[in-house]
Amino acid sequence: MCGIVGLHLRDPDLHPQLGALLSGMLTALGERGPDAAGVAVYGDPVWTPPGTSCVSVLTQRGPDELQAAIVAETGCEPSVLHVGGTTLIRAAIDPATLRAAVHAVAPEALLIGFGEDVAVLKGIGRPADLAAGWGLAGAQGRQGVGHTRMATESAVVPEGSHPYAVGPDQCMVHNGSFANHATIRRELRARGVEFDSENDTEVGARFVAQCLADGLDVETALKELCARFDGFYTLLVADRDSFAVVRDAIACKPAVIAETDAWVAMGSEYRALVGLPGIEGARIYEPDPERVYAWTH
Catalytic (active site) residue 2: yes
Q: What is the CA radius of gyration of the chain?
A: 18
Q: Is the C-alpha dihedral spanning 93, 204, 221, 27 positive or negative?
A: negative
Closest CA to 240 of 96, 116, 90: 116
User: What region does 186 belong to: left with phi over 0, alpha with psi -120 to 50, or beta?
Assistant: alpha
- How many Å apart are CA 151 and CA 171, to the nearest integer? 19
For residues 267 and 273, the answer to whether their CB atoms sit within 8 Å is yes
φ/ψ of residue 163, rounded to 5: -70, 155
Cis preceding linkage at 163, omega within 30: yes
Catalytic residue among 2, 54, 171, 211: 2
Distance CA 84, CA 270 (A): 28
Reference 36, options 61, 62, 63, 58; nearest CA is: 58
List the catalytic residues. 2
